[in-house]
């Protein structure tokens, strides 16, 4: 241990101390520390300064979202005035715990609940893709364990630069998108498969804006008896550290995640990337479930960002307690670790529990029986301080009120609509060629080569799988049946529209929310809860913060409109590189329920002669579309969301599914009607004949109508005998029969002028879709 003399330091020296120690604390932060310790007439130790740095980091405290944002002369809090406000105003009765713990918790049935969390692991995965992604999955699984839940499924959404990016254009220290993609997906597969947890949902996006900053979202869903959710530590409770040993890996992980990537990050920040051991976490999982079953724990949380310093400090502060910790009792990988290294290490597969003193021996025996280490390292106390000892030496003594009151961030935001225009595009002569090209494009083409590396059926609960039908077509959502004694299921879907954010982040948020909900509804889900994950550039730049504020406004408006509460979320900011800011990206994850999994609907057509209906209106909205991207344009006509119309469609389609009026349902998203119809055809040995003249639309061009990405649309196969019932049910929505299922294994589309513009065998469509993404 050593002391850090900040009381005599001037401003430049304070910043130098922060930089040399890797604290990532601002001048204002350092000045507050100087005032605090000067008032105490005390010189802070390295352990104390490191504790403050972890706790005050953007990663742990979410200072931008909790701070004051000034935009158009008004002061707002991104979290309180947008994200949390939506949930507060919806006030859904099924929410058990939101924004308060490692994961959001909602009711599943009368006695059981669902826990859900999605994390980001961008910076570590950019440095070491396998380890970064593997520990991302490991961390989010511990978030589920951290609310006493049993993980039943994983989800992952990944964003990379174009797979054909030229190597010579990569700056020093930046890895090629293909290398990153392979490493990340292998890391996710390794961890989930070894723990026996299925990866059932996800997406992969490609964009130039991810070359310097990849985006790795790792999510998990779990279940728990509702009355097992306990978080009530008391003074005298014993602090237990369980799981893997503590090492020098993962040190400064949260401060690393709160700064920009540079050409030197590859070498300088590699120690911040943790090392994954899924077998250790599996043993940890089994032990925690036994502690839960016996009701022996009073609190639990994972050791993620900030390690022991954050886990113990946060739990004690929330409980109104203090804590005394003996660091020498922490099991260590190395014999030469300094106290501060032990304290902030983010070594993986570790959990922190509190138990009553009388239950200590029984709990330790449970962990021993599972062959994973558990050690009592301290106690909770009545005082409001965090005291840390190392071999009887007091190495940290911090007031918890001070520790959890960092200087409030106050920043200016500016939103100016980008100067964009619609491209002038002549009518193409060969729409078949364009459809084939879109199906084989990176963002639309099959991700089966990745999906098949994940075990999506382990545990035997996956009712609706990510790949569907004889030829592995793309399902809209996954359904899990978690309990043998219930036919009720959990529905997991996602929505992500990064290209739309380049035009207007507000409509990106709206479209992402609507798409996540629409995907859930398409398979039979309802009563939907949302998780929000923001990946953004430097919020100290007014234009970046302006985009973020605009997206948060969209989150509030459309979560409120759809009565879908946010239950958890995470922001990853400062995603900057030599290329500049990352493409602003919002992932929305939707968790719904289906009353009976036997009513689940998949996307492939089922029976010759059945009518095909298009529900929803197709508008001239191609800004940010894959069609424009294919032609080298962005555009400005970003798809918008009409909530009242969407809600009517959602309610009617849900009722239609419950009444068995729907044989197949597929949402229209990337690539529009042309791509969605192709996918429904080539997933099975059937075809489809469609007539664009019957599509509800003001569009007067075949190409725009085929590839418009307007929101709120579903392509639905209805049993012949239910046709009139379906039409009567949909009479308050925009819906029209536009074709029928055929048995000729081809997609035939008649254009607006009455001529056949598409006639392609399903085999050719499937070949284009399956052959688009080459990773070798």
* Local confidence band at 263 (pLDDT 50, 70, 90 cut-offs): low
274 carries a ligand binding annotation: yes
Phi-psi region of 585 (alpha: psi -120 to 50; beta: other; left: phi over 0): beta
pLDDT at 250: 75
* Cα-to-chain-centroid distance, residue 530: 10
CB-based contacts of 158, cutoff 8 Å, min separation 6: 181, 184, 185, 202, 203, 204, 205, 214, 215, 216, 217
What are the domain boundaries of the chain?
11-63, 232-391, 601-770
Q: Are strands 580-581 and 74-76 parallel, antiparallel or unpaired?
A: unpaired
Sheet containing strand 95-97, strands side by side:
95-97, 104-107, 112-120, 215-225, 150-160, 199-206
Q: Which two tokens stand for residue 661?
A: 């009026």
The reply to whether domains 232-391 and 601-770 share a CATH topology is: yes
CA atoms within 13 A on the CB side of 560: 14
CA distance 693 to 415: 40
* Average pLDDT score over the chain: 95
346 carries a ligand binding annotation: yes
Active site residue 630: no
569 carries a ligand binding annotation: yes
Q: Which two tokens stand for residue 257?
A: 């995640």
CA distance 707 to 725: 30
What are the tens digits of pLDDT across the range 276-315?
A: 899 999 999 999 999 999 999 999 999 988 999 999 999 9
Is there a contact between 333 and 245 (Cβ–Cβ < 8 Å)? yes
* Local confidence band at 271 (pLDDT 50, 70, 90 cut-offs): low
At 447 the three-state DSSP class reads: coil
Q: Which two tokens stand for residue 371?
A: 């062959």
pLDDT at 268: 46
Active site residue 59: yes
Strand (E) or helix (H) holding 221? strand 215-225
Q: Which two tokens stand for residue 363?
A: 């709990």
> Is the model's pLDDT at 270 over the cut of 60?
no
Three state DSSP letters for 28-73: HHHHHHHHHHHHCCCCCEHHHHHHHHHHHCHHHHCHHHHCEEEECC
511 carries a ligand binding annotation: no
Gyration radius of the chain's alpha carbons? 26
> Is the model's pLDDT at 193 over the cut of 50?
yes
- Say what the alpha-carbon torsion angle 339, 341, 346, 347 is, to the nearest 10 degrees: -90
Architecture of domain 601-770: Alpha-Beta Complex (3.90)
pLDDT at 236: 97
Is there a contact between 177 and 206 (Cβ–Cβ < 8 Å)? yes
> Is the model's pLDDT at 494 over the cut of 50?
yes
At 537 the three-state DSSP class reads: coil
Q: What CATH number does domain 232-391 carry, 3.90.650.10, 3.30.40.10, 1.10.3720.10, 3.30.465.10?
A: 3.90.650.10
143 carries a ligand binding annotation: yes
Three state DSSP letters for 165-180: CCHHHCCCCCCCHHHH
What are the tens digits of pLDDT across the range 512-539?
A: 999 999 999 999 999 999 999 999 999 9
50 carries a ligand binding annotation: no
CA distance 686 to 608: 7
Provide the angle, in degrees to the nearest 10, between the axes of the packed helices 278-294 and 129-145: 0
Residue 259's nearest CA partner among 539, 604, 592, 618 is: 539
676 carries a ligand binding annotation: no
81 carries a ligand binding annotation: no
Residue 76's nearest CA partner among 556, 407, 416 is: 556
Residue 176's nearest CA partner among 632, 582, 775 is: 775
Start-to-end C-alpha separation, the chain: 49
Residue 252's nearest CA partner among 30, 11, 53 is: 53
At 683 the three-state DSSP class reads: coil
Strand (E) or helix (H) holding 107? strand 104-107
Provide, rounded to the nearest whole percent, the portion of the chain with pLDDT above 90. Answer: 93
What are the tens digits of pLDDT across the range 417-472?
A: 999 999 999 999 999 999 999 999 999 999 999 999 999 999 999 999 999 999 99
pLDDT at 305: 85
Three state DSSP letters for 342-409: HHHCCCCCEEEEEECHHHHHHHHHHHHHCCCEEEEEEEEECCCEEEEEECCEEEEEEEHHHHCCCCCC
CA distance 30 to 49: 9
What are the tens digits of pLDDT across the range 573-584?
A: 999 998 999 999
> Is the model's pLDDT at 397 over the cut of 90?
yes
Sheet containing strand 385-390, strands side by side:
297-302, 350-355, 238-243, 373-381, 322-326, 385-390, 393-399
* Cα-to-chain-centroid distance, residue 562: 20
Q: Which two tokens stand for residue 537?
A: 């550039």
Is there a contact between 663 and 524 (Cβ–Cβ < 8 Å)? no
Q: Which CATH code for domain 11-63?
A: 1.10.8
347 carries a ligand binding annotation: yes
Q: Which two tokens stand for residue 610?
A: 């059945």
Residue 671's nearest CA partner among 564, 775, 754, 747 is: 747
- Say what the alpha-carbon torsion angle 377, 288, 319, 99 is, to the nearest 10 degrees: 130
Q: Which of 36, 62, 121, 334 is catalytic?
A: 121
What are the tens digits of pLDDT across the range 672-689?
A: 999 999 999 999 989 999
Q: Which of 36, 59, 252, 666 is catalytic?
A: 59
Longest dimension (CA), the chain: 87
Name the H helices within 444-541.
448-451, 498-501, 505-523
546 carries a ligand binding annotation: no
Provide, rounded to the nearest whole percent, the portion of the chain with pLDDT above 70. Answer: 97
CA distance 83 to 65: 9
708 carries a ligand binding annotation: no
Residue 248's nearest CA partner among 272, 228, 225 is: 272
Neighbours of 730 (CB within 10 A): 22
CA angle 258, 205, 603 (to 5 degrees): 135
Q: Which two tokens stand for residue 274?
A: 């943790």
Residue 602's nearest CA partner among 433, 426, 462, 723 is: 462
> Is the model's pLDDT at 262 over the cut of 70?
no
302 carries a ligand binding annotation: yes
What are the tens digits of pLDDT across the range 61-70?
A: 999 999 999 9
């Amino acid at each position: 241990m050593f002391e850090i003399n900040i009381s005599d330091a001037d401003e430049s020296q304070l910043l130098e101390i922060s930089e040399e120690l890797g604290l990532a604390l601002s001048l204002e932060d350092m000045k507050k520390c100087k005032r605090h310790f000067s008032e105490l007439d005390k010189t802070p130790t390295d352990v104390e300064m490191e504790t403050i740095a972890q706790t005050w980091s953007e990663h742990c405290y979410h200072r931008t979202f909790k701070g004051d944002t000034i935009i158009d002369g008004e002061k707002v809090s991104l979290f309180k005035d947008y994200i949390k406000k939506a949930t507060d105003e919806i006030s859904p009765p099924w929410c058990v715990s939101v924004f308060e713990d490692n994961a959001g918790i909602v009711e599943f049935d009368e006695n059981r609940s669902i826990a859900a969390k999605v994390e980001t692991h961008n910076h570590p995965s950019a440095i070491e893709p396998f380890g970064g992604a593997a520990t991302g999955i490991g961390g989010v699984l511990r978030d589920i364990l951290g609310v006493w839940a049993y993980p039943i499924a994983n989800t992952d959404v990944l964003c990379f630069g174009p797979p054909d990016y030229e190597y010579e254009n990569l700056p020093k220290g930046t890895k090629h998108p293909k290398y990153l993609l392979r490493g990340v997906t292998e890391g996710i597969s390794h961890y989930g498969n070894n723990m026996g947890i299925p990866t059932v949902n996800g997406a992969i996006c490609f964009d130039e804006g991810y070359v310097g900053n990849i985006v790795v979202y790792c999510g998990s869903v779990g279940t728990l008896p509702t009355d097992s959710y306990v978080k009530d530590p008391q003074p005298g409770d014993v602090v237990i550290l369980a799981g893997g040993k503590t090492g020098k890996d993962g040190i400064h992980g949260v401060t690393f995640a709160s700064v920009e990537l540079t050409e030197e990050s590859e070498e300088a920040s590699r120690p911040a990337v943790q090392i994954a051991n899924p077998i250790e976490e599996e043993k940890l999982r089994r032990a925690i479930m036994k502690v839960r079953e016996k009701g022996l724990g009073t609190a639990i949380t994972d050791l993620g960002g900030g390690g022991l310093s954050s886990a113990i400090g946060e739990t004690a502060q929330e409980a109104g307690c203090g804590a005394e910790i003996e660091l020498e009792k922490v099991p260590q990988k190395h014999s030469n670790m300094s106290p501060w290294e032990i304290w902030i290490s983010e070594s993986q597969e570790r959990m922190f529990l509190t138990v009553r003193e009388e239950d200590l021996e029984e709990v330790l025996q449970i962990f021993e029986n599972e062959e994973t280490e558990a050690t009592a390292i301290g106690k909770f106390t009545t005082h409001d301080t965090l005291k840390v000892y190392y071999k009887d030496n007091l190495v940290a003594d911090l007031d918890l009120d001070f520790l959890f009151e960092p200087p409030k961030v106050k920043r200016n935001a500016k939103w100016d609509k980008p100067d964009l225009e619609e491209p002038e595009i002549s009518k193409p002569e060969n729409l078949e060629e364009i459809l084939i090209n879109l199906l084989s494009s990176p963002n639309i083409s099959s991700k089966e080569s990745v999906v098949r590396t994940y075990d999506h059926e382990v545990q035997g609960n996956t009712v609706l799988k990510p790949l569907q039908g004889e030829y592995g077509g793309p399902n809209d959502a996954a359904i899990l049946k978690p309990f043998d004694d219930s036919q009720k299921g959990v529905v997991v879907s996602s929505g992500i529209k990064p290209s739309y954010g380049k035009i207007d982040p507000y409509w990106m948020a709206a479209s992402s929310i609507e798409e996540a909900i629409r995907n859930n509804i398409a398979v039979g889900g309802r009563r939907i809860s949302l998780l929000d994950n923001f990946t953004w550039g430097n919020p100290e730049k007014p234009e970046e913060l302006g985009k973020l504020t605009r997206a948060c406004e969209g989150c509030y408006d459309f979560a409120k409109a759809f009565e879908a509460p946010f239950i958890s979320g995470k922001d990853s900011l400062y995603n900057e590189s030599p290329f500049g800011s990352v493409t602003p990206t919002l992932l929305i994850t939707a968790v719904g329920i289906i009353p009976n999994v036997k009513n689940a609907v998949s996307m492939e057509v089922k029976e010759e002669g059945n009518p095909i209906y298009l529900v929803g209106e197709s508008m001239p909205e191609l800004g940010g579309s894959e069609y424009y991207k294919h032609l080298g344009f962005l555009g400005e006509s970003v798809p918008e969301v009409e909530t009242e119309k969407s809600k009517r469609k959602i309610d009617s389609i849900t009722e239609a599914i419950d009444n068995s009026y729907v044989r197949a349902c597929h949402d229209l998203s990337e690539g529009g009607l042309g791509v969605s119809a192709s996918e429904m055809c080539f997933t099975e040995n059937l075809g489809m004949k469609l007539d664009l003249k019957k599509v509800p639309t003001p569009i007067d061009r075949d190409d725009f109508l085929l590839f418009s990405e307007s929101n709120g649309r579903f392509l639905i196969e209805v049993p012949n005998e239910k046709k009139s019932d379906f039409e009567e049910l949909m009479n308050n929505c925009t819906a029209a029969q536009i074709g029928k299922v055929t048995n000729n294994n081809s997609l035939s589309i008649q254009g607006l002028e009455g001529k056949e513009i598409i006639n392609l065998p399903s085999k050719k469509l499937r070949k284009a879709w399956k052959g688009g993404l080459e990773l070798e």
